[in-house]
Amino acid sequence: MLVRLFRGLSGLLTGGVIVLTLVVIGAAVVGHERNFPGPGAESIGWHVASAVVVLIVQRVADRRGGFVSFAASTLVIVVTGLLLWSQWWG
């Protein structure tokens, strides 16, 4: 039961990271086109790298069971937290 809960939560967070990545890329494109500052290459890089990591790890969480699934889900939560802390709240 706990593994399913964590896997569901990490799936929601994975979707959120992907949406945030698309928003950051979109803001950079719009900023460039309208000649105002937007997110820089470092922020885009962190978001893309985090999105790739959480997608791969979430896939592992969804396809495996038991402790491996729990650990993968926990890693998704940690990576998402680090992304939010370093790029949005830092």
DSSP reduced 3-state for 46: helix
- Per residue in 26-49, is it b (16+ CB within 10 Å) or e — as a string? ebbeeeeeeeeebbeeebbebbee
Instruction: Report the pLDDT value the prediction gives residue 65, as an integer from 0 to 100.
Output: 87
The closest alpha carbon to 24, from 4, 6, 48, 5, belongs to: 48
Instruction: Report the pLDDT value the prediction gives residue 32, as an integer from 0 to 100.
Output: 92
CA distance linking residue 73 with residue 86, whole number of Å: 20
Mean pLDDT of 70-85: 96
More confident residue, 86 or 2: 86
Mean pLDDT of 78-89: 95
